[in-house]
Chain A
Amino acid sequence: MAADELMPTHKSHRNPKSGPTMKKKSENDKKKRGVPDNKQQNPRAFSFTSADKAKILKLHAAEKEQKRIHLPTIDRNYGDPPPFVVVVQGPPGVGKSLVIKSLVKHFTHQNVPEVRGPITIVQGKKNRIQFVECPNDINGMVDCAKVADLAILLIDGSYGFEMETFEFLNIMQVHGFPKVMGVLTHLDKFNDVKKLRKTKKRLKQRFSTEIYKGAKLFYLSGLIHGKYSKLEVDHLSQFISLSLIKFHPLKWRTSHPYVLADRMEDVTPPEKIQMDKKCDRNVTLYGYLRGCNLKKGTKVHIAGVGDYSLAGVTALPDPCPLPSAAKKKGLRDREKLFYAPMSGIGDLLYDKDAVYININDHLVQYSKNDDEIGDPTNKGKGRDVGEDLVKSLQNTKYSVDEKLGKTFINLFGKNIISTSSERKLEEESSESGDDEAEDCVMDVESSDGETKQKNEIHGGLLRRKAIFKDEGGESDAAMGSDQDDVEGEEDVESDGDESEDGEDDSASDSQELDEDDVEEAGDRVLGNISKWKEPLKEKGTKKNLNLMQIVYGASGSSATTEENDDEDFFKPKGEQNKNLGGAMNVGYVNADDCSRFINYGNLKNWKEKEDCEIIRNRFTTGDWSEAALRNQNSVPGDEGGDFEDLEAENVESGTNQNEDSEAVERRHQKLALRAEFDANNPTYSEAKELGYVDKLKEELETRKQMNMLELNDLDEDTRIEVEGFRTGTYLRLEIHNVPCEMVEFFDPCHPVLVGGIGYGEDNVGYMQARLKKHRWHKKVLKTRDPIIVSIGWRRYQTVPVYAIEDRNDRHRMLKYTPEHMHCLATFWGPLVPPNTGFVAFQNLSSNQAGFRITATSVVLEYNHQAHIAKKIKLVGHPCKIKKKTAFIKDMFTSDLEIARFEGSSVRTVSGIRGQVKKAGKNMLDDNAQEGIARCTFEDQIKMSDIVFLKAWPTVEVPQFYNPLTTALQPRERTWTGMRTFWELRRQHNIPIPVNKDSLYKPIERKIKKFNPLVISKKLQEELPFTSKPKNKPGRKRPSLDVRRAVVMEPGERKALAIVQQLKLMNKVKMIKRKAKEQEKRKEYEAEKAKKEAVFKKRNREERRERYRTEDKQKNKKMRRNQD
C-alpha cells in the first residue's frame, strides 16, 4: 500500500477516437462480433457464371464431404476405460526417461528414481495414464507401437531427426496410427538464436509432412537443475490430456483383447526350480485389460515368447482406481495415485489373494506402536488374529524386497490377512479374505474366479434371512401358474424355474433392504475366520439350481478327457433329464442327432372350443389388448414398475454404486426408450431427414445402450460368464509352462505384451499380401529371402514369394520386388484376418545405419494353397523333319518328361505353331538318345528353326515360419534366424553364380558369301533372247557412242555458262557461311566451358561440405555407440 501511494499516478488509457489505429481496431472488433463485411473487392468474382462449373463445384463439394465421413464404429467399452498408454519414444540419449519423470512429477508430485516398466497414474477425474518408455531396439519399438494410444516422439533438436523416429512412425502407421506428438529436446545446445529458430521451423515442417499438416511439435528448451522447466512440462501435460479425449478406434485392437503387463511374478513351486533350474515356469502377469472383453479360455500370444492358453484369469481390484465421482473440481492430493510395480516404487502390490504392503526398513521399527494409529475406522472386536499374524510377521527379521515377497506367497499366502493398515484397502482386503477361506474349504482352482465365490457367500448369508419371504413368493408363483398348467410337462418344468427365479428376486430385494447389515456382517466375518466358514460349508452342500446351471452344469466342459471331469459332466445332465421330463437321452453320449423333439402322444384335442380359447389371443382374431399385455410383461424395462427391480439388482451386483451411476442408468434407459419410440413411429423419426451416416450412428448408439442395459441387468457373476472380463479391469493372468528364459532374461524396461488370439488365428496357412518395398530401403527384396514380419501381435520370420497379377488373373512369380510398385507376397505363417497390416524387416540389429524397415504391407486373404506360377521357356532344335512333323531334340531330357508335356503347344521363332505329340524314339533309329519329342506343326519347319515351349509351372511357397523369441534371450543380443542369400554368400565367401549363357556378348555376324549365280544350260535355252546371257567378245576400241564429239548451240552454251556461274556463286556463299558458323560455335563452346567450370567448382564444394558433415555424423554415432 505504502509503495502504491509513493508511486506517481498514471494517466488512464484513452481509446483512440480517430486515425488509422482506431480504424483497424474497429474493423477487428467487427470481425470478432461476426458482423459481415459487406464491402467486397470484386463483387463479380463470386457471382454465378456457368451452370457446368457450378455443377462441378457442387460435385466436388459433395465428394469432399463424403471423404470426410468415416463409417461409425460401435464402442463396446462399457465400464471405466483402461488407462491410456502414452509411449515415449526417441533415439538413445534424447531424454525419454526424464520426460516421463517430469510428467509423473507434474501429475502426482512423486519422484521416480528410475523408469522401469509401465507407470500408471491418475491424471484426472476420469482419466488415467500409463507411461511406457519405448526401448531402443526394434522389437521393443514394434511392441510399443502396437499398444500405444498416444506416442510422444522425442527428437534431439540439436541433432535433427534420426532413423528411429521414422522407423517408429512407419511401424505405427502399419499397426493402426495412434495419436502422435513430437517433442524437441536439447534445444539449449544452440547458441545462435537465429539458427535455433531456423532449425525449429525446419524440423516442424519435416514433422508435419511426415504425419499430417499441423501435427503438434513441442519444444523443451532446456534443463534447469536436471529437470525440464515446469512451465513447459505443464504445457506438455495439458496437451497430453487434451489429445487423450477422443480416439478413433483401431480395428485390430477393438477386436482383440490385450494386456500390457505392468508386473510379472514367477509362481513356480520353488521345489521344482530347485530340482531343475531350467524347468518350465508358471508365471503370472498383471495388467489392465484393453481392446475388447476377454473371455475365459481365450488363447494368448505373449510377444517374443509364444502362444499359451491362459491357465487362470482373475479380476483384481484396481490398484490405481479413479476417484469417486463426487462433484468437485480437480483431484485431491490423495487421489493422485500412482502405480509402478516394476519400478519398485509403489508401496502396494496386489495379488489375487493378498495385498502386500511394502514398508521401508525404518518404518518396520515403528510399526508396532503404529498400528493402533494406523486405522481407527476399522477397529472391530475380533481383529486379533490378523493383528497377531502381522505382529508375528514383524517380529521375524526380513527385508522387504521383491524376492522375499515372492516367497511369502508360498509360505504365508494362506494365512495372512492383510487388514493391518491402509484404510483404502478395506474392501479389497475383505474380498481377499473371502477368497482365502474358499481356498481352505473347497480347494477350488484359481481360474474359477474369486468373485463367484464371494457372491455365493453373500448368497449364503442372504439365504438364511430370506427364507420366510421366500416361501411366500414361491407359493405365489405356483398359484399363478397352476391355472394354466394342464398337463404339459414342459410347463411344469418352466414353472419350477420360475419359482427359483422368484426366490432369487426376493432374495435380492431383501438384500437391498438391509445391505448395511450385510456389510456389517461382512466386516465381522473378516475378523473371525471360523465363523464365516460355516455358511460357506452350508453353501457347498446346498446348490442353488437355476436354469443356467441346469443347462451348463455346475462346472466344466465335456471336452476334457479326464475321468473326474466326465463325472461332473454327467451329473447335471441327469438332473436335466429329470427336469425336462421326457427329455429322453440328452445325457447319452451317443444320442441321436436330431433337431426335432416330437412326441405326438400328448397332443391336446384342438378341435375343442375351450382348448382353443387358451391360445385365442395368440391370433390376430383374438383380443389385441390382452396380447399386447403378454408382450409387455415379458419385456423387462418397458414399464416403470420394472425399473425398481433393475436398480435393486444393480445394488446387488455393484458394491460402490451411487447416485451418479443411477443417473447415468436413467439416462440410458431414457435413450433406449426414445429409440424404441422412434422405431415404433417411423413417421416421427423420418421427419428429421437424417443422413445415412447419422442414422447409422444413432443405430449404433441405441445398440450400445441396449447392450449396457441388458448387461447391467445381469449379476456380476453371470455377466463375466456371458461377456467376459470387461475392458479396464485389472487382471491377473496365470500362464503355465513358459520357458525359464522368459523369467531369467526378464527385463522390465521392455514391454510385455499379452494379446488375445481370435478364432482361427492360431492356425497356420498361406497368406497373400499386397506388399511394397519401403522407399527408403536401398535394395529390392529377393524372392525366398527370409524377412521378419510383425503382424497382428506376432513377430516371426518367414519366407515370402513375390508375385504380380497378370491380366488373365495369373499370379506370376517375380524374382525381385518392383522398385516403386506394389506386388503380391505370399508367405506361410499363423493366419490373421484380411486387412491386417504388417511391416517387414530384414535385420533387427541396432547398429546398422540404414533404414531397417524393408517393406510395408497389408494382408488380402488367406488360403490353404498358393497359386503362383512362373514362366519357363524350353528351347529345342529339330533333328529330323518329315513334312509337317518334326523331331525336336534338346527340349527334354527324358521320355518321361515328354510324357508330362504331351499335347502342350510349341512354336518356332517365325511363329509356326505346333503341338508336342509323343516321344519319338521308336520312329527314329534304335540308338537315338532319349528326350527326342515328335511334334507336329501347321507348316513345315526348317532345320535352322528354333522351337520354343512356354509353360507356367506352379511355384511352391516354402512352409517356413520361425517365431521371434526375443524375450527368451538377453535383450541386447540381436536375434538371428534364417539368413538371406546375400548374408550366406558373404559369410561363406561364395561368389554369385553366373550363367555364362546369360551374359551379354558382342554379336558377331559373319558376312555371308554367296556363290555366283549359276543358270543351267537347259534353262538358258528356254529363256527369251533378251533374258539370255549373251557372250559378247570384249572391244578394243570404245564404241562410237563414246567417241563422238558434242558441239553446243550458242544458246545452249550461254545457258551452261550461266549455270556454272550460279554454282560457283553458291559454292562461295556456302564456304562463307560455314566459316561463320564455325566461329559462332567456337564462341558458344567457350562460354559453355566457362559455365561448366563454374558449376563443377560449386559442385565440388558442395560435395566436400556433405562429406564433411557425413564424416562428422559418423564419428558422432561411433562415439555414441562406444558410450
Chain B
Amino acid sequence: MGKTTYKRLKGSQSFRQRLLLSTLSSTPIIIDEIRADDMIPGLLRHEMSLLRLFDTVSDDCVVEVNETGTRLKYKPGIIMGGKNLVHNCALTRSMGYYLEPLLLLGLFGKKPLSIRLRGVTDDPKDPSVDTFRNASLHILKRFGVPSEGLDLKIEARGVAPEGGGEVLLTVPNVQTLTAVQWVEEGMVKRIRGWTFSARVSSDFEHSMRFAARGIFNNLLPDVHIFNDHKSGPQAGKSPGYGITLVAETIEGCYISADTTVSCGRTDETGEVDEEKQERKPAEDTGVEIASWLLQEIEKGGVVDSTHQGLLFILCALCQQDVSKVRVGPLSPYGVETLRNLKEFLGVTFSFRPDPSTATVVLTCVGSGLVNLSRKLS
C-alpha cells in the first residue's frame, strides 16, 4: 500500500477515457509507447491540453511525461470542480474532445463545476458544442443528473484553425447515478437543427437549411432549423460554418448529426488550395448531414453512434443495479469504451442482438461508483 501500483497501458488509443476512468476509479496509470514509432512521437498538443484540464479540475494529481512524450505517468487526484475556472484548449481538436470527459468528471466532483473553455468550438472530427447542448446533456438527465446547473452556454464561436470560441460549461454534482432501462427508441416526433456561420456570409446557413429541410420533407413536418450568424468578436478568429441536427423521439431519445466546414487558411500554403478546391457547396453539406441523421435513425438505438461511448460509461457508473440500453450497431469507439470499462471498473456488459431491428441490447450491472469527495454536511 505504501507504494502506488500503476496500471500499465500502451499507446495513445482512447486516451481521454483512460484518463477519465483512471480518475474516477482512482487508479494510477502509466501509458507507454505513445506514438513511439510515429513521425511526431509522443503526446500531441491537445492531449497535453487535456492533461492540463484534468489538472485544473482536480487537485493533487501527478502528471509526469518523459522527454519525448512517449511515456505518461498519471496519478489521479481528487476531483474538486469549482467556479470560475478557465481552460485554453489546444486548437488541434475542438471543444467536443474536451467536453466528453469533462462532463462526467464534473459530475463526481467535490463542488459543482463551472468552467470556461476557450478554443475551437466546432470541427468535423468531434461532436459540436450544439450537439452537446442539445443531445448529450439530455442523455445525462436520463441518469438522474439534476437539470438545474447542467448547462452549456456558447458565448463565442470559433472554427479551426484559429479558434477563438468560448463556451461556459456548468455541471452539478451527483451522489450516484441511477440505473436506466432504456430500450425503447420511440418514434421521431420532431427534428431541430442549429446552423451557424462565423466570419462568412449567412447565405451558407440558408442554403444548408434549405437543403436539409428538403430531405426531411418526405418524412416529418415538424422540422425547425435555427440559424445563428455571428460576427465581430463572437465569431472567433477563423471563418467557417456548420450544422447540427437533432431528432427527438417520443421516448425522449435524441439522435444527432453535425458537421462543420472551416473556410480558414492553414499555415501550410500548399493545403489551402487543395481544400478550397475540395470544398463542397453548402447545399451538399446540408444534404449530407440530413442523410446522416436519417442513417442514424435507421440504425436504431436510443443514442446515435457518437454517443455510444458516453452512454456506456454512464451505465457503468450507475448504482449496482441493472441498466439496459439499446444501441444500433456498435461503433469502434463504443467497443473501445466497453473494453476500457472492463479494464478500469470491471464492468462487463452482456449483449443480446435483436435481429428484427438490427440493434443490440446491452445489459450491465453498474459499478456502484459513489461521489466520495463530496463533503458530508
Give chain A's interface residues, CB within 8 Å of chain B.
74, 76, 255, 292-293, 295-298, 306-307, 477, 480-481, 484, 490-491, 493-495, 497-502, 546-548, 551-553, 557-561, 566, 576, 580, 583-584, 586, 588-598, 600, 603-607, 609, 612, 614-622, 624, 627, 630-631, 633-636, 703, 706-707, 710-711, 713-714, 718, 721-724, 758-760, 762-765, 830-831, 833-835, 858-865, 963
**What CA separation (Å) do A621 and B322 show in the bound complex?**
33
- Starting from the known contacts A494-B358, A551-B351, 8 additional A-B residue pairs (CB-CB under 8 Å) come to A494-B355, A609-B218, A622-B187, A711-B365, A714-B363, A721-B348, A722-B364, A863-B59
Chain B, 1-45, CB within 8 A of any chain A CB: 1, 4, 7-17, 24-26, 32-35, 38
* Option from B125, B333, B351, B355 in Cβ contact (under 8 Å) with A502: B355
B220 touching A619, Cβ below 8 Å:
yes
Q: Is B221 an interface residue (CB 8 A)?
A: yes
Given contacts A560-B8, A590-B13, A593-B13, contact A612 B219 (CB under 8 A): yes
A296 touching B346, Cβ below 8 Å:
yes
Q: Is B82 an interface residue (CB 8 A)?
A: no
* Option from B38, B97, B214, B291 in Cβ contact (under 8 Å) with A603: B291
Given contacts A721-B348, A759-B25, A859-B376, contact A618 B188 (CB under 8 A): yes
**What CA separation (Å) do A292 and B321 show in the bound complex?**
12
**What CA separation (Å) do A760 and B9 show in the bound complex?**
19
> Which of B154-162, B228-236, B337-345 binds A?
B337-345
B361 touching A634, Cβ below 8 Å:
yes
* Option from B291, B354, B375 in Cβ contact (under 8 Å) with A834: B375
B11 touching A588, Cβ below 8 Å:
yes
> Which of B140-148, B261-269, B293-301 binds A?
B293-301
Select the residue from B7, B78, B215, B343 with max chain A CB neighbours within 10 A: B78
A-chain residues with CB within 8 Å of residue B356 when the two chains form the complex: 480, 630, 633-634
* Option from A607, A620, A633, A721 in Cβ contact (under 8 Å) with B189: A620
A831 touching B372, Cβ below 8 Å:
yes
B-chain residues with CB within 8 Å of residue A597 when the two chains form the complex: 305-306, 331-333
**What CA separation (Å) do A604 and B365 show in the bound complex?**
37
Task: Output the least CB separation between A848 and chain B (Å).
Answer: 30
A711 touching B322, Cβ below 8 Å:
yes
B-chain residues with CB within 8 Å of residue A721 when the two chains form the complex: 348, 350
B360 touching A477, Cβ below 8 Å:
no
Q: Is B349 an interface residue (CB 8 A)?
A: yes
Give chain B's interface residues, CB within 8 Å of chain A.
1, 4, 7-17, 24-26, 32-35, 38, 59-60, 77-78, 96-97, 100, 110, 125-127, 179, 181, 183-189, 214-215, 218-221, 250, 287-288, 290-292, 294-295, 297-300, 305-307, 309-310, 320-322, 324, 326, 328-333, 335-336, 338-339, 342-343, 345-346, 348-361, 363-365, 367-370, 372-376
A618 touching B299, Cβ below 8 Å:
no
A-chain residues with CB within 8 Å of residue B331 when the two chains form the complex: 597
Task: Output the least CB separation between A899 and chain B (Å).
Answer: 29
Given contacts A491-B358, A494-B353, A619-B187, contact A591 B11 (CB under 8 A): yes
A586 touching B60, Cβ below 8 Å:
no
* Option from A586, A595, A865 in Cβ contact (under 8 Å) with B309: A595
B321 touching A551, Cβ below 8 Å:
no
- A selection of 25 A-B contacts at a CB cut-off of 8 Å is A480-B355, A481-B358, A491-B329, A494-B353, A494-B359, A498-B355, A548-B350, A551-B335, A559-B9, A589-B11, A591-B336, A595-B306, A595-B309, A596-B125, A634-B356, A710-B363, A721-B348, A722-B365, A723-B365, A724-B346, A758-B370, A760-B25, A833-B372, A859-B376, A862-B372
For B10, the closest partner residue in chain A by CB is: A589
Given contacts A606-B294, A617-B187, A703-B321, contact A558 B9 (CB under 8 A): yes
Task: Output the least CB separation between B16 and chain A (Å).
Answer: 6
* Option from A547, A594, A595, A862 in Cβ contact (under 8 Å) with B360: A547
A707 touching B321, Cβ below 8 Å:
yes
* Cross-chain pair count, CB within 8 angstroms: 295
A494 touching B291, Cβ below 8 Å:
no
Task: Output the least CB separation between A950 and chain B (Å).
Answer: 29
B1 touching A306, Cβ below 8 Å:
yes
B332 touching A293, Cβ below 8 Å:
no
A861 touching B368, Cβ below 8 Å:
no
B-chain residues with CB within 8 Å of residue A591 when the two chains form the complex: 11-14, 336
B291 touching A604, Cβ below 8 Å:
yes
For B24, the closest partner residue in chain A by CB is: A759
For B324, the closest partner residue in chain A by CB is: A710
**What CA separation (Å) do A153 and B16 show in the bound complex?**
54
For B125, the closest partner residue in chain A by CB is: A594
**What CA separation (Å) do A580 and B179 show in the bound complex?**
28
B219 touching A621, Cβ below 8 Å:
yes
For A597, the closest partner residue in chain B by CB is: B331
* Option from B13, B181, B320, B351 in Cβ contact (under 8 Å) with A588: B13
B189 touching A615, Cβ below 8 Å:
no
B-chain residues with CB within 8 Å of residue A758 when the two chains form the complex: 368, 370
B297 touching A618, Cβ below 8 Å:
yes
**What CA separation (Å) do A497 and B309 show in the bound complex?**
21
For A572, the closest partner residue in chain B by CB is: B339
A-chain residues with CB within 8 Å of residue B13 when the two chains form the complex: 588-593
B353 touching A621, Cβ below 8 Å:
no
A-chain residues with CB within 8 Å of residue B361 when the two chains form the complex: 634
Task: Output the least CB separation between A717 and chain B (Å).
Answer: 10
Task: Output the least CB separation between A682 and chain B (Å).
Answer: 16
A-chain residues with CB within 8 Å of residue B354 when the two chains form the complex: 498, 633-634
Task: Output the least CB separation between A722 and chain B (Å).
Answer: 5
B-chain residues with CB within 8 Å of residue A864 when the two chains form the complex: 59-60, 77-78
**What CA separation (Å) do A616 and B306 show in the bound complex?**
23
* Option from B7, B184, B352 in Cβ contact (under 8 Å) with A631: B184
Given contacts A863-B78, A963-B1, contact A607 B214 (CB under 8 A): yes
**What CA separation (Å) do A699 and B26 show in the bound complex?**
32
B346 touching A596, Cβ below 8 Å:
no
B-chain residues with CB within 8 Å of residue A630 when the two chains form the complex: 356-357
A548 touching B358, Cβ below 8 Å:
no
Given contacts A501-B352, A603-B291, A620-B220, contact A590 B12 (CB under 8 A): yes
Given contacts A603-B295, A606-B291, contact A586 B372 (CB under 8 A): no
For A581, the closest partner residue in chain B by CB is: B329
**What CA separation (Å) do A579 and B97 show in the bound complex?**
27
For A584, the closest partner residue in chain B by CB is: B332
Given contacts A498-B353, A621-B221, A862-B78, contact A580 B127 (CB under 8 A): no
